[in-house]
Structure formats: C-alpha cells, structure tokens
A and B are shown apart, each in its own frame.
Chain A
Amino acid sequence: MATTAEVSRPLTLADLKGKVDPDWCPGCGDFGVLAALQKALVELQIPQHNVVTISGIGCSSNLPGYINTYGMHTLHGRTLAVATGVKLANHDLTVVVTGGDGDGFGIGGNHFIHTMRRNVDLLYIVMDNQIYGLTTGQTSPTSQLGMKTKSMPFGNIEAPLNPIALALAAGATFVARGFSGEQKHLTELIKEGIQHKGFSFLDAFSPCVTYNHDNTYQWFRPRVKKLEDEPAYDSANWYAAMEKAQLWGEEIPIGKFFERTDIPSLHGAEPVLAQGGPLAHRSLRLPAEMSRGFAEELL
C-alpha cells in the first residue's frame, strides 16, 4: 500500500530530501554519497516507506537524517546487527546501511565480519575517509602508515586494514569500491548493490576535507581506475578480485570487484520465512492445539 501522493506520481529527488540539510563541512565527501544514494533510489523507484536507512555514529552516520526514508541512527559500530534484525523481521524492506570506517571496521569490526558471512540481504556503504571525523581527527583502521593525526602525532605505525580483501575473505557476495568524486559510477554501484540479493559491501572513498589532508580528492583523482574500463576483468572470479584488492598506491581500482549469486541470503535460508509474509506482520497468537502441545511435552 502506498499513499495517494506516492502512487499518483513517480518518486523524485525532492521526495527524498530530508527534514534538515546536512551539517557536514562544505566539501565533505559524504555529500556525494548521499546524492548518489538518493539518485539510485529514484532510478530504482523504491517507495520511500519501504526503505530503511540505518547508520551508526560518526559524521557519515548522520546520513539517515538527511534522506526521507525510514531511518535509524543507532549506536557507534552496531548498525549491522540492528540492520540484520530489521531485515529478518521484515524482509520486504530495502535495507541500506551507512557509516564510517571507524564505525564499521573499528568498533563494529566483529559485526562486519559476521554479517558478511551470514549474507544478510542489505547494502552496506562505508563512507571511508580514513579518519575519525566526528571526534575531530584521530587515526582510523584505514588510516595509511605514517599518517599524522591528533592521536598519532608522530605518524601511524599500524598497517591499515584492507576492507575489500577482508570482505572477500569473510564471504561477502557483492564487493565494490566507489569514490564520492565519481557520482555516476557510485550511483550505479549503489543500484547494483541494492538489487543484489545478499550482502553488498560498498567501500566509498569519501574525503574528509577537514581532518585528512593526505587522502584528498586531488590525491584520489589520478589514482582511481574503474574496473569497468577493463574489459577482461571478470567480477565472478574471486581470485582475480583478491588480486585486485591488493593494489594500492599509484593505481587504486574502483568498481565492482566481485559478485556471486548462487548463495541464499540469510532470510532466504531461514525456514521460518519459507512461508507466510514478513515476521513483523504475523499473528502473535499460536493455534491453541500447538501451545497445548508444548505443555504436554513436559508431562
């Protein structure tokens, strides 16, 4: 069911404008990710009440407030667990999870791994700025070696995490990387990720213009190379994807690294959901004979 307003005309970008404007710093990469997400939803024409945008805590995680879909602004790092609950409770909803690199790879790292292995049907966009933005510039799990921040003033001595390789290893069934500076490309990846039936991971470079002076737009632009421009690249080949994932430096691949469609999503494999509609809409009452049966087992 949709409201009259929704059925009478197609969804527009204006419909998806949030109740308030983003409070991100001018030039923040997150604007580009938000715009791409809104465009993708308009192109896919998914009714806004059927979309839930779920985030953790961070600059990037403020995104649900800036898009007019159902939204949840949860706890730092806990988004994927919350989103798994939402999806299992109502698998008719389109679940989009957004957050930062600290949120997803640092404090939320454990949930990240397990949500991938479970193949929960959702799109997870990490707005990767390689820094902790909201807490005013500390080292993140994707900060490069040597990078100086407020928490590592003499340079980072810990090797950064490789999110693409980690996602591939953890069994994500859709793995991609985008760049906030490449709007059209990013929009296409978001659309593909939403349509993929399983866990879609999208690592989106989203420069923090205030606290990360190393990995700027200017730094990324000459480096990013679209996998789509390589006709020979086969995103069904996990080993090829793993090899591409190792590239970092002069050339940084973006695009769809990997996708497989032969594995059921968590809700698809859940026997309780094999029949009947979404769990959230089922009757709370069990048939009387069944409940009597449960007590009789104990006699």
Chain B
Amino acid sequence: MKQTFAVSIGGAAGQGVATPGDVFAKILTRRGLHVNAYNAYQSIIRGGHTFLTIRTGPEKVTNMGDRIDLLIPLNQDTMNRHLGLLGSGAAVIYNADTIQPGIPADGVQLCPLPVSQLADITRNKVAQNTLAMGAGLNLMGVGFQPLEEVLTEQFKKKGEAVVNENVAVARAGYEFAAAHFKPFLNPLPMTDNRYAVLSGNVALAMGGVAAGVKFYCAYPMSPSTGVLHWMAAHARKAGVIVRQVEDEIGVINMAIGAAHAGCRAMCATSGGGFALMSEGLGMSAMIETPVVVINCQRAGPSTGVPTKTEQGDLWQMLGAAFGDYPRVIAAPTDIADCFKIIPEIFNIADRFQCPGLVLCDLLLSEGRLSVDPKDLDFNVPIDRGELITAAGGPPSGPDRDGIYKRYLITESGVSPRAIPGVPGHVHTAATDEHDENGVLLSDEYTNPAKRRAMMEKRMRKVAGIEAAVKPPELIGPRNADVTLIGWGSTKGVIQEACEILHEQGISANQLPVRWLVPLKGDAILDILKGCQHTIIVENNYSGQFARYLRSETSYVPDGYIRKYDGEPFMPHHIAEAVKEQLAGKTNLSVPRHEIMV
C-alpha cells in the first residue's frame, strides 16, 4: 500500500478553512510530495460546515482516501461530526478554550491548544488556525522553516509587522506541540520533485490557452466559475478576450460568433447553463462552426446541490439539441487530464467542424492535485483542419463565380471553411438546411434529395471522428477476478479500490472511459469479452453510463456501484461493494457516505 497522510480541516464557512489548506498544500508540494485536496462545502458564504481534506504522499495521490490522520476542527460542530471517524494513530488538534473533544476511539491522540495563553486572540482572530498549523506540522515531522517561508509570502503584502506576528503565533503552536504532544510514527518523507498544485478548473482554463483559445465567455455557475476566474485574471497577458455574458444562451451564441469569425472559442458552465446552451450546439453543428463547451457537473436536477458532485449529465450531453449531428464528448479522468483534453478536443472539433463537449464534474473542477510542471507544457499539437484565413489559397475565386462552396459535398464530409473577411469566399452560413452554397432549402425550395445529401455529408464526419480517438485500455492485471468500468473523474478512486482489493486477495482491474462520443464500442466489447466479472461504477442514480453502453453495444455488466448523495466515492466504498457483489449478495451497491458534510 502506498504511504499517504491526510489532514482534514473543518469549520463554518468564513472561519478561514482555506488559508491553512493553501499553506499545507504549498509546504507539502515544496517537500516534493504529491497532494490531492477535496473540499466539501455548501452554497453559503458564511456559516454551515466546510470540510477540507488534503492527502499527501511521495507517490501520486489520486483521491481523498479513506483515512484521516490529522483532524483540525475549527469549531465544536466539526469536532462532533468527525472525531468518530478517527482511528488508532490519528490525532486531533483543537482550541481547548472553545471546543470540547468528546470521546475518541482507542489510540487517537487529543491535542488541546490553550489558544488564549499562546496568542493574543483579541488582535489575531485566526490565531487558532495559525497555532494549529504550527502544531500540526510539528507532529508531521516537518521543520518550522517551511511554514515561516510560506507565512512570510502569504502576509508580505500586509507588511512586516503582520508577517512577524503570524510567524510568532505559528512558532508558539509548533513549540507547544513539541513539548506536549507525540509526533506521528512516520514523519513525512521528502523528495527532490517539485509539483504545481492546481484545480481542474484552472487546468481546463490553461488547457484552453494552450490550445490557442482567444475568446472565452461565461455566465457564473458553480462549479465551473473557476475557469472564468482564471481566464479573466490572465486574459490580458494571454491575449484572450473574456466576457461575462447575460445568460448561457448568450454565452454559447457569442462563442459561436467568435469561432465563426476564426477564433478558437470556449465556454464552461454546469448542467443548468448547459441546458440553456443546447439549441446553440445544434447551430454549431449545422453551420459547421466548431466550439468547445465544458460542462462541470453538479448534483441535479434543477438547481440541485450546487456545491456537490455528480455524474448525472451524461444523457443531457448525449441528447443535447434536436436532430442528428456529429459531436464529440470527452470526460477528463483526472485534473492533469483536464489540461490535456482541451487541446485534443479542439483539434477534433476544428478538423470536423462540429461542437466539442467536455464532461467534467465538481470533484475535478474544484478538487486540487499536484502535477509535474512538465505535464503543463503549452507546446501542444494544434490542428485547425481545413481553414481558409486568407485569400489566394485554393479553393478561391471571385465572389460571384460560385467557385467556393462553403458546404461542398466531400467524401470526408468536411468542407473547407473560409472565415468572414477573406475575399473570394463570400457565403452565408445558415441554420436552416442549405445546399452546398449555403442557400436555404427551407419551405418552398425544400428538396428531399439535397436535404438527404447534406445530412449524409455532415454525418460522414462521424467516421473521421471515430478514427481520431483512441479506444480505452484496461489498467491492471489481465484475467482479474473483477473488472471495474468507470468514466471520467472516478479513475483515481477506482484505481485505489483495485489496490485495496488486491491486498485482500482479490485481483481487480479497471477500464476507464475518457471518450464518450465516439465510444469505441467494438473495442470495449473486445476487452470486456475476456473479463470474468464486470461492474460499472458511476456517480449517479440511474446508471447513465451503463444504459449508454448497453444502448451502443448491448453489453450488460454483472453489477453496478452507484452513488448519488453529492459526495464522491471513497476507495473503501468501492472495495466493499465489490466484495458484497462477488459474494453474490447483490448486483447493485449504493455505498453510504459516512462523513457528514
């Protein structure tokens, strides 16, 4: 089993959970450790309960794990909710002035801090947080200097006095812990690696800029808003126009306008906003103007649970907009993949002049992961397909000659696309069905032969798209006892569940699906044919992927693991469900989330 360590900080919104989180993440990655952070919170600005878990280790940490090693409750509520989750070897650091500990399990170390004696709480409102950070790092076997450095950076802008005060408070916590508490058995290791820490939203935005996005627009909606924030903050530097639009209908149409004029254009939203965009996707397909739309799923339906995760929008994406048209749908499998997938899908959307949809979710969008900076290389392949941006290049000709046909019928279904402003290529792009020249076939001109030809031209692109993406691959031992099939964000947690099962004598492998359209059904069937016991794992109620796979391939798995309580899977949820299914107890498991957040 990999060596990992998890620290959880909880409190009411507004109590400053984020700062210690950032400080820990910085210190850990500077130590050359990987981190994975997940914040469980509610859609309120003050109050409620926020619970941030940062898990670290020398190897890649793909999910929040099953165990909390260090709990830092900032209020009584957090102590009451979570003390019971701690097992032997864990510790809890808390403000002894305001919080009663309750009765912990055997082997759990209680670490009360006499906050009012250690710091002047009338001046420093977050003294308990700073003291706890100092104490925690001491127990973890990390020296004081990294904390001093990070605090200095954090408070530099506020002046030397504030820096000194915070460093002094942190030192008091550090020294108090050294004198009164037992350190953890295994001090945190150190490596020479250096990692960047980023959220999926930042990765999506950076992936967009790497792909050459010049136009980004959005309407704020959790959990996609982080993409807008990064884009807006970096717009001037990166030369990207970023617009906040009046609604998501405006967003998709504005993005398509910019794309039509020749930019790579992108937008992100969540399920509700995506629903408003669906008519626009049909336009993108019909006028053959590529656009990339990201849906960061949250728990639905309707306003749903804005701050909780789910994989409940698959069928919305599959069915978005009326009529048949070619589309591409990709689901990034981790935060680093959020960066990678954007340039890939832009190339496909550009080559096949169709909408490219990215199905992300809150878990990735708002989670944070350490990534090797080399994996954030902006020097990605860029392929804009058959795009005419200047006069002269064939096919061309005087505007009246009709030599240039925007919707030329070709074998691939792709017609060379001229952008407005290019002499010799004047044409109209129409959402009404049209002929090769873009002339409307509507009403009295309707011509079944032409309609059929245009329909077939567009749909021929599907074959090209099929060839452009790779089929999924099985990870883990062949001939395993059980094969877990997942899609998108569940890859990391399924991987860890496989490791847990392996330790318990059950061999398990995983088929993670990244391209949803095209699905590559034949390749998937080929793989699954040789599997002994297959289970589809997904974060929704009805088994949306299971139904999709069945509709595309007629494949029916042996079992299902589903979760739709708003929280992501933890590894033990999956491992235990697999065991009950292999024992023949059920073929549908819905694990209960034990952490009350």
Contact = CB atoms under 8 A, between A and B. Distances in A.
Interface of A: 1-6, 15, 19-20, 23, 47-50, 52-54, 57, 62, 64-65, 68-75, 78, 81-90, 92-93, 110-111, 113-114, 270-273, 276, 278-286, 288, 290-292, 294-296, 298-299
Given A110-B247, A296-B373, A89 B262 contact: yes
B430 interface: yes
A84 B257 contact: yes
B422 interface: yes
B38 interface: no
Interface of B: 29, 194-198, 202, 206, 209-212, 214-215, 217, 234-241, 243, 245-247, 249-251, 253-265, 279-280, 283, 287, 371, 373, 376-379, 382, 384, 389-391, 397-400, 402, 419-432, 437-440, 442-445
A291 B256 CA distance: 26
Nearest to A113: B246
A92 B421 contact: yes
A3 B424 contact: yes
Contacts of A52: 261, 420
A242 B543 CA distance: 58
B257 A82 contact: yes
Given A81-B250, A85-B257, A281-B262, A57 B431 contact: yes
A65 B243 contact: no
Contacts of B254: 81-82, 84-85
A299 B196 contact: yes
A108 B209 CA distance: 31
B258 A70 contact: no
A153 to B, nearest CB: 25
B253 A74 contact: yes
A72 B287 contact: yes
Contacts of B236: 271-272
Nearest to A299: B196
A70 B389 CA distance: 14
A75 B197 CA distance: 41
Given A73-B432, A90-B262, A15 B214 contact: no
18 contacts: A3-B397, A3-B424, A20-B440, A20-B445, A47-B423, A49-B426, A69-B426, A73-B432, A73-B440, A81-B250, A84-B243, A86-B257, A89-B265, A90-B261, A110-B246, A279-B241, A291-B209, A296-B196
A73 B428 contact: yes
Nearest to A19: B439
B399 A65 contact: no
User: Most B CB atoms within 10 A — which of A54, A292, A294?
Assistant: A294
Contact of B210 (A69, A71, A291): A291
B36 to A, nearest CB: 15
Contacts of B257: 54, 72, 81-89
B211 A284 contact: yes
A271 B29 CA distance: 36
Given A73-B431, A81-B249, A282-B214, A2 B423 contact: yes
Contacts of B422: 49
Nearest to B246: A114
B209 A82 contact: no
A266 to B, nearest CB: 9
B429 A294 contact: no
A113 to B, nearest CB: 8
Contact of B241 (A5, A86, A93, A270): A270
A81 B423 contact: no
Contacts of A72: 257, 260, 287, 428-430
A252 B377 CA distance: 63
Question: Which of A57, A86, A283, A298 has the most chain B CB within a 10 Å cutoff?
Answer: A298
